[in-house]
């Protein structure tokens, strides 16, 4: 009875206080850090932590590993393992089946569309289409959105990256700003989704660092530098972490991905870009120590995906590997289906993200049953021994598949955006642009080289440690939200990792 009496009194007092409080500003003061910094390193394989360990200094990756909590067995649990999906999944704690970002490009209203394209907005700081971007195609909230809600929208949330999708999707729907590089001008820009004109601090930054072409910003250490400097400028310009309300900054380093695509996983260039990034991280952490205060901020580092080892390198050492050209497969499949169904119409719209997108409008106009086309397409594709499995995406559970592959296909399938047929390649096989396989690489499949990513969290209320327990990309958002005492994003399927 005493418990009921105290509870009743608390309710009465709470109701009285609510009547006196303003409509916004009801959130109490919780035990939270001054600033949360989420860092994504594009195309960072987990093993890069150790491959270049001896060449790292003490203040960057090694500091994270020594002072932070290191989840060594963090896996991506969906396909395709590409940039837009990775960034959305990290910060929503969800998967494409729920957050809707089904690829860098995916089917939207019957047409292939870029993940962040928004024709209802215009660029700010640019007259080109590079600014016509927003997070509207993402269907769930992010850590930043939930932080805004938890603080009655008093928290500031900013996203920074060279890539638009890597700035926009992590910051979320209610962000105060997201800034990305316009390759045409070499300047950081945004869109009218966020604001009508660039803040003075962004204009000052562009004046100092802007104007360089993509060969400098996209494929050299200069790209690391301007990303880190833009992050520091955002902290300074927006006064992040300088009051009693927790703020959030998301930072994605994109140069690592561009260099990886061009030079693969073992080139001198990838070594150079990661050892340079280590220096940039050390500088950023030192800046945060002084500006926000050591122990007063929470930082985590992860990746959106990994990368396959180069086909030629593997073959040279006797390891089976191969590639396929999507355009050739698409052409052959269209010719086969045209003959089978007696039509000159192309029934395959495209092959993207290892998925076959059928042309449903064409099938409807011809009166052809899509299930018949899918069955025929699956049978034809199965003739190629390079494809381990070919699956009708509406019938994944009926297919004979390893459980881990089935789970990742299911998690990656959004029924209105993800196409019709999933192609699962043999290990060490990936899409190539031509028969002359070059020295680069790519990513996008379920295998560990693409799905095993780093996840280290450091700082506020985090004790040093490590775990080999299974964690997923979705656990990142759940862990951060648990640590800062806010609700996890509304599509989150992850579980918080114990870091104390």
| Rounded Cα distance, 298 and 300, in Å | 7
Give the contacts of 369 (CB within 8 A, at least 6 positions apart): 363
Q: Is 119 tagged catalytic?
A: no
Give the contacts of 423 (CB within 8 A, at least 6 positions apart): 351, 354, 355, 356, 381, 387, 389, 390
| Rounded Cα distance, 20 and 22, in Å | 7
| Rounded Cα distance, 411 and 101, in Å | 11
3-class DSSP string for 115-161: CCECCCCCEECCCCHHHCECCCCCCCCCHHHHHHHHCCCCCCEEEEE
| Rounded Cα distance, 327 and 78, in Å | 24
Instruction: Output DSSP code: residue 310.
Output: P
| Rounded Cα distance, 480 and 457, in Å | 9
- If we measure between CA atoms, which residue out of 258, 254, 277, 257 comes closest to residue 163? 254
| Rounded Cα distance, 473 and 476, in Å | 6
Strand 348-352 relative to strand 421-425: parallel, antiparallel, unpaired?
A: unpaired
Specify whether the CB–CB gap between 477 and 93 falls below 8 A: yes
Helix (H, G, I), strand (E, B) or coil at 75: strand
Q: Give the C-alpha distances (Å, rounded to integers) separating 323 from 78, 89, 104, 315.
A: 21, 27, 21, 12
**Cβ atoms < 10 Å from Cβ of 384:** 13
| Rounded Cα distance, 231 and 379, in Å | 50
Of the residues 74, 83, 190, 217, only one is catalytic, namely 83
Tokens of 428: 């060490």
Specify whether the CB–CB gap between 314 and 321 falls below 8 A: yes
| Rounded Cα distance, 26 and 152, in Å | 7
| Rounded Cα distance, 439 and 39, in Å | 28
Peptide bond into 80 cis (omega under 30): yes
Q: Which residues form the catalytic set? A: 83
């Amino acid at each position: 009875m005493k418990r009921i009496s105290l509870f009743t009194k608390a309710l009465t007092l709470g109701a009285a206080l609510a009547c006196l409080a303003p409509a916004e500003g009801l959130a109490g003061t919780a035990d939270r850090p001054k600033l949360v910094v989420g860092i994504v390193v594009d195309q960072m394989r987990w093993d890069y932590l150790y491959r270049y360990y001896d060449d790292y200094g003490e203040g960057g990756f090694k500091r994270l590993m020594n002072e932070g909590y290191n989840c060594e067995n963090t896996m991506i649990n969906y396909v395709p393992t590409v940039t837009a999906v990775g960034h959305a999944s990290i910060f929503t704690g969800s998967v494409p089946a729920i957050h809707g970002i089904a690829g860098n490009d995916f089917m939207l209203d019957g047409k292939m569309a870029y993940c962040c394209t928004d024709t209802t907005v215009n660029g700010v700081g640019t007259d080109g289409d590079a600014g016509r971007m927003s997070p509207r195609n993402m269907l769930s909230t992010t850590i930043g959105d939930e932080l805004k809600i938890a603080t009655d929208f008093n928290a500031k949330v900013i996203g920074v990256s060279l890539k638009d999708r890597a700035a926009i999707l992590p910051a979320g729907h209610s962000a105060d700003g997201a800034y990305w590089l316009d390759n045409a001008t070499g300047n950081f820009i945004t869109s009218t989704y966020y604001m009508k004109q660039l803040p003075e601090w962004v204009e000052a930054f562009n004046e100092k660092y802007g104007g360089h072409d993509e060969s400098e910003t996209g494929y050299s250490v200069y790209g690391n530098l301007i990303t880190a400097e833009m992050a520091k400028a955002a902290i300074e310009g927006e006064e992040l972490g300088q009051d009693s309300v927790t703020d959030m900054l998301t930072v994605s380093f994109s140069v690592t991905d561009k260099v990886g695509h061009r030079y693969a996983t073992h080139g001198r260039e990838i070594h150079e870009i990661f050892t340079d990034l280590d220096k940039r991280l050390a500088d950023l952490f030192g800046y945060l120590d002084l500006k926000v205060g050591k122990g007063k901020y929470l930082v985590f580092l992860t990746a959106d995906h990994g990368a396959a080892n180069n086909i030629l390198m593997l073959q040279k050492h006797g390891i089976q590997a191969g590639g396929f050209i999507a355009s050739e497969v698409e052409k052959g499949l269209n010719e086969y289906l045209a003959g089978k169904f007696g039509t000159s119409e192309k029934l395959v719209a495209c092959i993207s993200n290892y998925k076959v997108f059928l042309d449903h409008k064409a099938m409807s106009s011809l009166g052809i049953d899509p299930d018949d086309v899918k069955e025929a397409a699956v049978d034809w594709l199965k003739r190629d021994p390079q494809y381990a499995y070919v699956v009708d995406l509406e019938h994944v559970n009926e297919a004979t598949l390893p459980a881990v592959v089935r789970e990742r296909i299911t998690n990656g399938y959004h029924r209105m955006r993800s196409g019709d047929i999933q192609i699962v390649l043999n290990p060490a096989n990936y899409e190539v642009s031509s028969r002359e396989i070059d020295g680069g690489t790519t990513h996008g499949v379920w295998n560990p080289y693409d799905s095993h990513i780093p996840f280290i969290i450091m700082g506020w209320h985090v004790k040093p440690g490590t775990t080999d327990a299974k964690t997923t990309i979705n656990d990142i958002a759940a862990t951060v939200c648990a640590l800062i005492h806010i609700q996890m994003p509304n599509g989150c399927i992850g579980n918080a990792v114990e870091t104390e």
